[in-house]
């Protein structure tokens, strides 16, 4: 094999690998729009309910511990984490315990292509239950029951 052939193969391999990353990277969330990755817009539009005192506590905990990825109002962040105000996270499909376990153990990526959610430090089960009360209020206000 000539030196030129080796270089050509190396370049082709690099292009193939780079292209793959480009495609998987830009596919972002399977359910999101194709340009979601490059947009700062929240992934879903969330109507805001009036919150009870308990749900307001949950909101503040959510903003401290979860919003960095799931975004304000759990509307989802392109390229980072899915909206939790979303049909697949309705109580029938993801019971309250799924939230407690997600915070405690993290989540292996399965519904989307964002990658795994790490375990979240510094949040107790009782605090996650307040967060769930808040998320459920958001879900109900947006027709997810």
Q: How far apart are CA 16 and CA 29, in angstroms?
A: 22
Nearer to ligand HEC, 10 or 97 (CB): 97
Q: Is residue 99 involved in binding ligand HEC (CB under 6 A)?
A: yes
Q: Is residue 64 involved in binding ligand HEC (CB under 6 A)?
A: no
Q: Is residue 118 involved in binding ligand HEC (CB under 6 A)?
A: yes
Cα-based torsion angle of the residue sequence 17, 114, 106, 129 in order, rounded to the nearest 10 degrees: 180
Q: Is residue 43 involved in binding ligand HEC (CB under 6 A)?
A: no
Distances (CA, A) of 128 to 33, 56, 65, 135, 144: 30, 13, 10, 10, 19
Which parts of this chain interact with ligand HEC (CB under 6 A)? 65-66, 68-70, 81-82, 94, 98-99, 102-103, 107, 109-112, 114-115, 117-118, 120, 123, 128, 131
């Amino acid at each position: 094999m000539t030196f030129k052939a080796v270089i050509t193969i190396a370049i082709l391999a690099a292009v193939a690998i780079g292209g793959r990353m480009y495609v998987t990277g830009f596919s972002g969330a399977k359910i999101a729009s194709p340009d979601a990755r490059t947009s700062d817009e929240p992934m879903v539009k969330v109507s805001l309910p009036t919150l009870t005192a308990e749900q307001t506590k949950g909101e503040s905990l959510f903003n401290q511990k979860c919003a960095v990825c799931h975004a304000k109002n759990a509307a989802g962040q392109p390229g980072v984490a899915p909206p939790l105000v979303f049909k697949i996270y309705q109580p029938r499909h993801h019971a309250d315990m799924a939230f407690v376990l997600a915070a405690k153990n993290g989540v292996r990526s399965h519904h989307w292509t964002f990658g795994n959610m790490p375990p979240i430090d510094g949040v107790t089960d009782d605090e996650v239950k307040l967060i769930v009360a808040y998320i459920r209020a958001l879900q109900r206000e947006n027709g997810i029951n």
